Structure 1
Amino acid sequence: MNLGQNLKKLRKKHHFTQKELAEMLDITQGTYALWEKKTGNPALEMIVKLGDIYNTPIDLILNEQKSDSPFIELLNIYNTLDAEQQNSILDFSRFLATQKAEPLPPSDNIIPLQTYRREELYTIEVADEQLSAGFGQSLNDTQETYTVFTDIRPGRYDGAARIKGDSMQPEYPDSSIVTFVATGFDRDGDIYVISEGGPGEEQLYCKQVFREEESFRCHSLNPDPQYKDFYLDEETSRIVGPVVDCIEAINPELIEN
C-alpha cells in the first residue's frame, strides 16, 4: 500500500472529510487531496501533525517498518525536539536541498520521473471561466482559453473548463478538467454543466441534475452534509450540456519538446 492509499485509509477510519483534515493541518483541501492521489508528498512537519491527529505512530502513517527506514528514525527524533530545534532542522534541510547534489550511482531501486513527449499528447482548450462544484463562480465572459495536455484521448466535446471546489469529489476532483457537449438537457441524473443568470453575470455549475416541475434540482456527489441540493428556475437558467470526460492535466514541467 502506498502513502496516498494509507492516508486515505486512515482518514476514512477516523471519519474525517478531506476538508476537515486540511483545516486541522492548516493547509488547503487541494493540497491534501494531492497527497492521497500520490502526486505530492507531505512535508516532515505535516507527517508529525498527522501522527498527532490520529494518535498513531509515524511508521504506521508511512506504512514502513521502523527497523528498515532511516526516515522513520529522523521523524521520531524530530518529534522529540522543541519548536526552536524543529525549525533549525527544517532550515538546515532546506539549505541542503539547495546544494548541488552529486550524481547518484545506477540503482535498480531508483524510479525515474515519468516524462511525456509533447507530440504524443492530446490537447484540450480550456475556458478561462471555472465551473463551480460548490456555490457558484462568476464569469467574466471573455471567452479566452488556455491549452492543457493529457495522455488520454478525449471524446468529442464542445467546451472544457476547470472544476473549482470539492463538492463533486471524488468523481470530479477540485482543479480537474471536464469536457462537455452543448446539447442541452437529456436525462435525469446525468452530470451537466448548467448556468444561471444573464450575459456577464452567469454562475456556471457542474452538478448532477434532476428536472422537477419548472426547476432543475442540482445535486452534489460529495456526501459531506454541507453540500445541500439547490434549485434553479428553468426561466433564469439553462442546461449547457452533459459532461463527457474528467481528466487531470499533465504538469507542463514533465513535458519534453
Structure 2
Amino acid sequence: MSSHQESGPIDTSVAHPARRYDYLLGGKDNFEADRESAHRIEEQMPTIRLTAQENRWFLHRAVRFLAEQGIRQFLDVGTGIPTSPNTHQIAQEVDPGSRIVYVDNDPLVLVHARALLTGDPRGRTAYLEADLREPRTILEDPQLTEVLDLDRPVALLLIAVLHFIRDDDDPQRLLATLIDALPEGSYVAATHVTLEYMSAEQFAAVRATAERQTAARSGTELAALFDHPRLTLVEPGVQSVSQWWPQDAPQPRPPVEQVACNGLLARVGP
C-alpha cells in the first residue's frame, strides 16, 4: 500500500477523535491530550468504553454481512487508528480479493495505516488522508479510483464519524454526494453517538461536554440524514448498536441505556 500524499504535522496538544477512540479501546497510539479528553467524557458517561467496544463489534457484524452478500469493495471513511480485526481483515477472510480504501484526516492514522494495513496480496488496501467534509476530494482521489471500481457495488462505512460533522457543515449534502456516486447494489453502514437513552440529568451533563466537539443526534435525526431516494434501510433500521442484530453479537447484550450509539445499514437502489 502506498500514499501519494504527505502527512502534515501531528499536533499532540489537541485531542483528536481517532486517538481518543484508540485509548477508549485500550490502544497505545494516543497522547496526554487524548487521554484527558477521554477522561472528561468518561466522568459524565461512565460506559463510554463499552460504547466504543459495541461500536466496534457493530462494524465487525456489518462488514461480515456485507462480504457474505458478495460485496468486494469497501470505502471506510473516518477509519481511525487500525485496530485488529479491521475492515480489510474481515472482508478478506470471506474473499481474499476484497478491496478496501480507508480514509481519515488524522496524520497519525496515516503513519499507522502505512505500517499495518497491508492486507491480503490477492486484494488491495489503500489509505487516503482526507476529510469527510470534502467528499468530492475523496471520490476523485487517484488512489481511490485505482483500487475501487465505482461501477460495481461498494460498501460505504461511516462508523463513529458523522457526529463530528456539525449541522452547519450540511451533513445531508455531504452524504448525498457520496451516496450519489455509489452504483445500485451498494450499501451504507453508519453509527452515530446519541444521548437519547440517558436520564435527563446525565443527558444535560454529557451534552455540555460532548457538544463542544460533536453533534449527538437522536435515532430520528440520524435517520433523517439518510433520507435519500436511493436508500432503503435494512431491518431493523436505526437501532442501538447493542441491539442491532443482537443474535450475531457477543453475549450477553448490554442494555441500551449503557450504549450511547445507534447504527444503521442501508441498501442503494435505482
TM range (shorter): under 0.3
Larger radius of gyration: 1
Structure with more contact order per residue of length (Cα contacts < 8 Å, sep ≥ 6): 2
Higher helix proportion, which one? 2
Q: TM-score, normalised by structure 1?
A: 0.26
Q: TM-score, normalised by structure 2?
A: 0.25
